Every structure is written in structure tokens, then in C-alpha cells.
Amino acid sequence: MSSTTNLAHEEHPLSAGSILTLTQMGMVAFLVSEVAFFSTLIVAYLTFLGKDTIGPTPLEALSLPTAIVSSVFLLASSGTIYLAEKQLHLGSLRGFQGWWTLTFLLGATFLAATAYEWSELIRVHQLTISRNLFGSTYYTLIGFHALHVSCGLVAMLAILFLSFRGDVKSEPGGGAELVSWYWHFVDCVWIVVFCIVYLWGR
């Protein structure tokens, strides 16, 4: 047996007919690992909830109105990124860029709201990461969510830049689609975090 050529004669595309493209699968696998990561942070948050001997407690420190307002911005951005993708699908690059930029701005506003919330917590309530267990777990959980929002914003800027060069297309597993999947995931995490930290945990 000298070579492999007699096994098959036709050239064949790479994928073995799976439902998802390779990059889509990669993103799903990555997001599964992210679920494991955030679950661990949430477990740590719940472990120490109410175990503090010194204040401030979540009830004293957390402002529900601020959280609700910032949540509205973030959840709205999931809608706008969907509309951006739809415009891309319809072939309107300008429409895509408009909705995509709006998504970026909504995400950035959410981040600014988090920054405002943190500055209030530090200034008014003297809550830092080293203050008590609530501070340790709260800043870690919210901080990692904010880090993920920031990464999403950077990715959005990159896609926006590519779209001006005409390199963004509506295709399964394309960059715009993957960023939007990631963004929806970040929003879903926020819904869980919001329910646990701001509603149930208070």
C-alpha cells in the first residue's frame, strides 16, 4: 500500500454535515465554559450571602433604581443587536452600522452606570473589596460581568471597523453573528446576576 489515493477520488468540504459551522461550535463551546465560570462566582456569592458580621449589607448599600435603569440599557442592547443582524441579513450595511453603533452606545452606558454605582458604593457606603465578604463577592461577580461587557464592546468596535472596510457579511458563523451570540450570553448572565444580587439577595 503505497499511498492513500485509492481510498477516495472526490475532494470533499471539511465539515461532516453538522448543523453548526465550526466557528459557531467554537463559540458554543466557549460559552459553555463561561457558564461554568460564572456559576462558580455565583456559588461563592451565595455561600457568603448574609454571613457578614460588619456592614454594609446588600440591603443597605445596593440601589435598586440604579440597577433597574442600567439593566434596561443592557437588555435593550440585545434587541438592537438583533436588529443590526437583521439589517445585515437584508443587505443594508448602513442599517447594520446604525443599529450596531446604538448597541455599542447602550452597552457603554451600562458600563458607565456600573462605574457610577461603584463610585457611590465606595463614596457613600465605604464598601470596597476588602471591606467585608459582601464587598469581596459583589465586586468580583459584578466586576467579571463588567469585564465581559467591556470585551464585548471591544469586539463590537472591531466589527464596526471591519464593516466600514466592507469586510462584514451576513453568513452563518461570521464575526457579527458570533459577537451577537456572545452579547446575548452576557445579557443572560446579567439577568441571573440581577435576580440573585439585586432582587433575591436583598
Partner 1 sequence: MAIAEQRRTDYQRQVVAASGWTAILHDWTTTVDHKKIGILYVLMSLVFLVIGGCEAILMRSQLLFPRYDFLPPDTFNQLFTMHGTTMVFFVGMPILIGVGNYLVPLMIGARDMAFPRMNALGFWATLFGGLLVYSSYATGGAPAIGWFAYAPLTERTFARTAATDLWALGLLVSGIGTLTAGINFIVTILGMRCPGMTLRKIPFFAWTMLWTSVQILLAIPPLTAALVMVLLDRNLGAHFFDTQNGGSAYLWQHLFWFFGHPEVYILVLPAFGMISEIIPVFSRKVLFGYEFMAAATAAIAFISMGVWSHHMFTVGMSKTLDLYFAAASLLVSIPTGIKFFNWLATMYGGKIRFASPMLFAFGFLSMFLIGGLTGIMLAIAPFNFQLSDSYFVVGHFHWVLIGGTLFGLFAGLHYWYPKVTGRMLSERMAQWQFWLLLIGFILTFGPMHISGILGMPRRIYTYEPDRGWEVWNQITTLGAAIQVPSYALFVINIVWSYFKGPLAGDDPWNAWTLEWATTSPPPAYNFEQILVVKSRRPLWDLKHPDDPDWNYE
Cell of 153: 464592546
For the bound state, the minimum distance from the C-beta of residue 129 to partner 1, rounded and expressed in Å, comes to 5
For the bound state, the minimum distance from the C-beta of residue 136 to partner 1, rounded and expressed in Å, comes to 4
Distance CA 56, CA 134 (A): 8
Distance CA 66, CA 48 (A): 24
Whether the CB-CB separation of 181 and 27 falls below 8 Å is answered with yes
The stretch near partner 1 (CB under 8 A) out of 42-50, 119-127, 149-157, 163-171 is 42-50
Question: Which of 110, 80, 74 lies closest to 95, judged by CA?
Answer: 80
Interface pick for partner 1 out of 77, 97, 132, 180 (rule CB under 8 A)? 132
Instruction: Decide if residue 47 touches partner 1 (CB under 8 A).
Output: yes
Instruction: Decide if residue 41 touches partner 1 (CB under 8 A).
Output: yes
Instruction: Give the helix ranges, DSSP H, for the chain.
Output: 22-48, 58-61, 64-90, 93-125, 133-164, 175-193
Of 51 and 202, which CB lies nearer to partner 1 in the complex structure? 51
Binding positions for partner 1, rule: CB under 8 A:
1-12, 14-16, 18, 20-22, 25-26, 29-30, 32-34, 36-37, 39-41, 43-44, 47-48, 51-53, 129-130, 132-133, 135-137, 139-140, 144
